[in-house]
């Protein structure tokens, strides 16, 4: 499951901040408890010292105030008769809190030289202060957590903002333009520089490939034109036998297909996507023209090609010349890799060319079709490039029941 950098930073900061706040507050609570224990021991020591210095330790001593009850019993004195109720039934020594008459007392009982020291200190007021302090600490915890959540959102946005901007800049790249190297963060500038170097390499490879295709196409046009011209001259002489005429017609047909492929490659390399001059044309008519041309070159193919139109006349807007080449390559590919029928299905959204080959034509699968450089057949390679040029979708699949089919998805113009 994908997670954004912003979300990860927000969670990391929030939980780190919350844990730090809880650790600080817990440490504060432990410090207060330790301080309370220290104050209790200091009070105990000061009271004992005060008692021993101011009073006669051979007699029973009772001191009582609003918050303090202090009793001293010499060793020879009976506890039951002289001991206040709050101290009774408590062990000696004893230190702890005791509830008495709906109040909380801190009780300290300890042995001192010559007797036993009993101290009870009212903790009600201190308890109220403690509750107030705990309430304040709880409120601080809530405020700190809310503040930490807000800070985590702010910091995550601040940290991820440069990366988000870099992503937007990459998405807005068109025609291999370079990324800016003026970011505030040095790391992003280094990423941008590396990305620009990568784009430069890709641009150089594309230019080299286009140049190679252009030069190869121009170099091939001359010999193909010579072949076609010579074949037509021989045909016009009408001095050939029937079998020789058939062979010559196959030479002419192959040369014409090669010439069309060269023209298609040149058109694709130029990447002329200006559709303003394109007029709607009938896809069914183009398919019939391609079929007629194939049958003239190979009469045996007449019984093998079947055209089915699911929506009647289908009008589309595109370069009719390269669509004609596309259909010619698909049909010829099916004929060359199949001894049975080749069925051309035309709809208002797709074109399908079915054949009865046991394996996909040219041994292509969907992964190879998606990567034109991996294609083994020039015909399907050109089909792939044409579909990319027209922004159509080309898939090639094989089914056990109906054989291999090539599908081209497109969007026909709306009929107003």
Q: List the CATH number of the domain containing 227.
A: 1.10.287.130
Instruction: Give the per-residue pLDDT at 246.
Output: 79
Tell me the percentage of the chain whose pLDDT exceeds 90.
0
Mean pLDDT along residues 314-329: 83
Instruction: Give the per-residue pLDDT at 373.
Output: 37
Mean pLDDT along residues 220-242: 82
Question: What confidence tens digit (pLDDT) does each residue in 356-400 have?
Answer: 765 544 444 443 344 433 444 667 888 888 888 888 889 888 777
Whether 394 is covered by a domain: the verdict is yes
Are residue 133 and residue 11 in the same domain, yes or no?
yes
3-state secondary structure of 50: helix
DSSP string, 123-182: -HHHHHHHHHHHHHHHHHHHHHHHHHHHHHHHHHHHHHHHHHHHHHHHHT--TTPPPP--
Which CATH number fits the domain that encloses residue 351? 3.30.565.10
Distance between CA atoms of residues 192 and 188, nearest Å: 6
Whether 137 is covered by a domain: the verdict is yes
Which has more confidence, 291 or 110? 291
Give me the domain span that covers residue 250: 180-272
Domain count, the chain: 3
Question: What confidence tens digit (pLDDT) does each residue in 60-82 have?
Answer: 777 777 777 878 888 777 666 66
Are residue 291 and residue 263 in the same domain, yes or no?
no
Whether 169 is covered by a domain: the verdict is no
Question: Average pLDDT of the chain?
Answer: 77
> Per the omega criterion (within 30 degrees of 0), is the bond before 381 cis?
no
Are residue 208 and residue 264 in the same domain, yes or no?
yes
Distance between CA atoms of residues 344 and 288, nearest Å: 10
Question: What confidence tens digit (pLDDT) does each residue in 278-314 have?
Answer: 678 888 888 888 888 888 777 778 888 888 888 777 7
Tell whether the model's pLDDT for residue 412 goes beyond 60.
no
As a residue count, the chain comes to 416
Burial of 355 (0-12, 13-18, 19+ CB in 10 A): buried
Contact by Cβ (8 Å): 366, 398 = no
pLDDT band at 51 (very low <50, low <70, confident <90, very high): low
Pairing of strands 342-346, 305-309: parallel
pLDDT band at 7 (very low <50, low <70, confident <90, very high): confident
Q: Which of 212, 245, 272 is the last residue of a domain?
A: 272
Instruction: Give the per-residue pLDDT at 1.
Output: 56
Are residue 338 and residue 260 in the same domain, yes or no?
no
Are residue 204 and residue 225 in the same domain, yes or no?
yes
């Amino acid at each position: 499951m994908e997670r954004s950098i912003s979300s990860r930073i927000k969670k990391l900061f929030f939980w780190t901040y919350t844990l730090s706040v809880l650790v600080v507050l817990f440490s504060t609570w432990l410090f207060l408890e330790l301080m309370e224990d220290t104050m209790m021991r200091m009070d105990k020591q000061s009271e004992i010292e005060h008692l021993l210095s101011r009073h006669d330790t051979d007699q029973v001593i009772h001191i009582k105030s609003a918050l303090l009850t202090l009793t001293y019993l010499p060793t020879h004195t009976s506890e039951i008769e002289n001991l206040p109720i709050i101290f009774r039934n408590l062990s000696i020594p004893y230190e702890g809190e005791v509830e008495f008459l709906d109040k909380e007392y801190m009780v300290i009982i300890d042995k001192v030289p010559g007797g036993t020291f009993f101290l009870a200190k009212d903790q009600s007021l201190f308890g109220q202060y403690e509750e107030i302090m705990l309430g304040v600490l709880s409120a601080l915890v809530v405020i700190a957590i809310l503040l930490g959540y807000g800070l985590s959102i702010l910091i995550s946005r601040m940290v991820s903002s440069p990366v988000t901007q870099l992503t937007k800049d990459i998405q807005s790249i068109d025609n291999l333009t370079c990324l800016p190297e003026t970011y505030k963060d040095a790391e992003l500038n280094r990423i941008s520089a590396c990305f620009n170097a990568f784009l430069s390499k890709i641009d150089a490879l594309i230019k080299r490939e286009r140049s190679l295709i252009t030069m190869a196409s121009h170099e091939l046009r001359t010999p193909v034109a010579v072949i076609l011209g010579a074949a037509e001259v021989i045909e016009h002489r009408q001095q050939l036998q029937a079998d020789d005429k058939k062979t010559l017609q196959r030479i002419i047909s192959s040369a014409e297909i090669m010439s069309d492929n060269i023209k298609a490659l040149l058109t694709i390399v130029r990447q002329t996507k200006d559709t303003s001059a394109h007029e709607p044309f009938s896809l069914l008519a183009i398919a019939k023209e391609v079929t007629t041309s194939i049958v003239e070159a190979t009469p045996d193919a007449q019984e093998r090609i079947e055209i089915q139109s699911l929506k009647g006349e289908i009008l589309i807007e595109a370069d009719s010349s390269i669509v004609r080449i596309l259909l010619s390559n698909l049909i010829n590919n099916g004929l060359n890799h199949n001894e049975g029928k080749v069925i051309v299905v035309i709809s208002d959204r797709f074109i399908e060319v079915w054949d009865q080959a046991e394996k996909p034509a040219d041994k292509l699968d969907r992964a190879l079709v998606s990567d034109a450089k991996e294609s083994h057949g020039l015909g399907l390679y050109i089909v792939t490039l044409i579909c990319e040029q027209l922004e159509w979708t080309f898939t090639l699949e094989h089914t056990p029941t109906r054989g291999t089919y090539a599908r081209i998805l497109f969007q026909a113009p709306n009929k107003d």
